[in-house]
Structures are given as structure tokens and as C-alpha cells.
Amino acid sequence: MRILTATLIATLLAGLTTAASLAQDEARWAIVVHGGAGVIERESMTADTEAAYRAALDAALETGGAILSEGGSSLDAIEAVIRDLEDNPLFNAGRGAVFTAEGRNELDASIMDGSNLNAGAVAGVTGIRHPITAARAVMENSRHVMLAGEGAEIFAREQELEFVDPAYFFTERRWRSMERAVGDLGLPLPERPAGAPEPEEIQEGHLDLMEREHRFGTVGVVALDQSGHIAAGTSTGGTTAKRWGRVGDSPVIGAGTYATESCGVSATGTGEYFIRLNIAARICHELEVMDRGAEERAFAAQDAADMVIQGALTDLGGDGGVIVLSGSGETAWSFNTPGMYRASWGSDREPVVAIYGDED
């Protein structure tokens, strides 16, 4: 009788332990963020500028982490974080977007739900305040994946999304950078946009830093929610002085953004290379192959990212970086530029914010 009682108690305790373990697994969440890659070096960064970027990345983690820790969805976390980054003129997305050679801001964004492979994207939009919200609306409220230009904006108006005057996106340093690039290309300078503020003084050193750090400017987020769903999103203003309606990798599903049940990627870099190599989907494929090939790989996400960024991308002559998140909550980043604005946090780890190449 005593043996039977002891056995029943042991079984009950084992069951409770298993239930607690499952509950802990279900509560797991993680988020990883990037704000662009480029020639970002300590000697060219002022203390105030560095502090501003770190504060913005930390705020992004707090916004996304608050949603995920309270049981919110990965899609909601991604949209909320990217909307904030689109409103922050530090980053080349939304309000901080670079100018085309014609003096316009043409914005791209995409989002993907790894649980069902649904995706949405917009490209070349000029008046939508939050392109990432438009991309999500395309995913959820249309039968298409990507909408571009005027058609995307007609759809956004039908969805009652917020529009702003073009001057909302104007920042002096972006304008001055475009003027310099257009001059180097031997093209005529466009007229200053109607409604733009009066010209202000910009230090040449700040312009040099901005051009180097934001040559590959983009913002992106990948998140894992407590339901085990991964999603990824990316938003960008493109490249300075771009022409002819150029579109890079950010709104291209598989190139700049990709998510499955077990992997999520957001990329930043020279879009033409990321498109040709299908970088984001390629990393997820490599990660899934690694997961199938071994029962336990503690650093599979990092290995997959490095294999593609330090290997295929570098070999082709492209540059930039990625953030990666696996189904187990492992986060990783890889870049072949001197720096990348990046941050990560999870239910089982402390927040990490980094900028330079020699930071963990």
C-alpha cells in the first residue's frame, strides 16, 4: 500500500513538473530588431548620436517585449515596433527616409506570418505614414501579396490608413545628402519640396557619417510570441538618389523578409544582391536543413546566418546584414559591414543593444 501510494505521488509530481515545463515553454517569447547596417565606427560617432541610437533600440525592445510578454501576437509586436521606428528620423524608414534623385520619398515595407506563410508588401508609396501598417493590410485584407505606387495608396485610402503631406517625411540631413549624391551623378538638383522647413545648418561630418551608416538603411523586426508563432517585418526608404522607381529587397518576400513556423529573417543591405540571392528565404532553408540534420544545435540560427552572409553574399560582392530568429527562440545576427544597429531580448535572457562590429 505504501509503495502504491508513493508511486501515485511520484506520478502526480512528475505530471505537475511536466505541466510546469510545458507552461514555461508556451510562455517563451523573443524579439530581435535592426536599424540598418553600414560603415558605423566608434571614431566617427559622437557620444550624443550613439546614445540616441542606443536609446531608440532599447525603446524598440521595450515596446515589442511588452506586447509579447503580455501574450500579444508576433505580428502586433512587429507592427508596433516598426511604426515607432518609421516615426523616428534617426532611421531610413518613414520620417527619416532618404530622397530619390527627383526629391521624393518612396517607401517600401513588408510583413510575413510564419504560421501560415501569409505575406503583404507595399513599394514606392509616398504619402502613407506607416508603410508597415499598409503591408499588413495588404496581407490581411486583400488577395494580393504586393501592391506598388498609386495602386497601393488607393488601397490604403480604402483601408482608411493614415496619410501625411510629403513634407512630413522631410529631414534636412537626408535632403542635403541627396543633393550631394545628385551632384556627383551630374543630375539636375530637384526643387525643395513644398512645405519643407527653412534650410538649416548641417555639419559636413554629420553628412559623411549619415551617408556611410545609412547606405544600407532599413529597419526590421522578427518576433516569436507565446503561441510559438514567428513573424518578420521590414521597412525602408531605399537608397539615396535612387532613380526610375527602383525597388530593393525590403518589400520582396524571400529577399528582405521571410518567416516560417521555425524561422524568421529581416535583412538590410544592398538590395540588388539580396534579391538575386533570395537571402532571407535562403537563411531559413539553411536553418531548417541544420535542424533536420541534428537533434541539438545550440547555434543553428547563427550558423545559417553566417553561412549566407559571410559566404554567398560576400562572395557575390554584396554587403549588409540580417537578423534571425528560430522556433526555439534563438536569436542571431550576421553582417559583413563594420557595424549594424541591432538589439534582442527574450523571456529567458537580458536585453542586448549593439552597434559596432566588435560587440556581442
Numbers of helices and strands, H then E, in the chain: 11, 12
Q: In whole angstroms, what is the distance from residue 321 CA to residue 311 CA?
A: 12
Q: What are 226-281's pLDDT values in tens digits?
A: 999 999 999 999 999 999 999 999 999 999 999 999 999 999 999 999 999 999 99
Judged against a pLDDT cut of 60, whether residue 312 lies above it is answered with yes
Q: Residues for the chain: how many in total?
A: 360
Judged against a pLDDT cut of 80, whether residue 12 lies above it is answered with no
Q: In whole angstroms, what is the distance from residue 266 CA to residue 288 CA?
A: 17
pLDDT cut 90: percent of the chain above it:
78
Selecting among 126, 218, 234, 331, the annotated active-site residue is 218
Judged against a pLDDT cut of 70, whether residue 4 lies above it is answered with no
**Grid cell of 179 as nine digits:** 543633393
Q: How many CA atoms lie within 13 A of 257 on its CB side?
A: 39
**pLDDT confidence bin for 208, thresholds 50/70/90:** low
Q: What are 161-175's pLDDT values in tens digits?
A: 999 999 999 999 899
Residue range 100-121: mean pLDDT, rounded: 98
Q: Which stretch of 76-80, 156-160, 172-176, 296-300 has the lowest confidence by average pLDDT?
A: 296-300
Residue range 143-166: mean pLDDT, rounded: 97
pLDDT for res 217: 72
Q: In whole angstroms, what is the distance from residue 232 CA to residue 54 CA?
A: 22
**Grid cell of 84 as nine digits:** 515607432
211: three-class secondary structure by DSSP: helix
Strands 230-236 and 257-259: unpaired
Residue range 117-127: mean pLDDT, rounded: 98
The overall average pLDDT reported for the chain is 90
Judged against a pLDDT cut of 90, whether residue 14 lies above it is answered with no
CB 266 within 8 A of CB 221: yes
Domain spanning 28-356: CATH 3.60.20.30: yes
Catalytic residue check, 337 = no
**Grid cell of 348 as nine digits:** 529567458
Q: What are 17-76's pLDDT values in tens digits?
A: 444 444 445 589 999 999 999 888 888 888 998 999 999 999 999 999 999 999 999 999
Q: In whole angstroms, what is the distance from residue 238 CA to residue 182 CA?
A: 15
pTM equals 0.90
pLDDT for res 39: 82
Q: Which stretch of 217-226, 237-246, 295-304 has the lowest confidence by average pLDDT?
A: 295-304
Nearby residues of 173 by Cβ (< 8 Å), 6 or more positions away:
202, 206, 207, 210
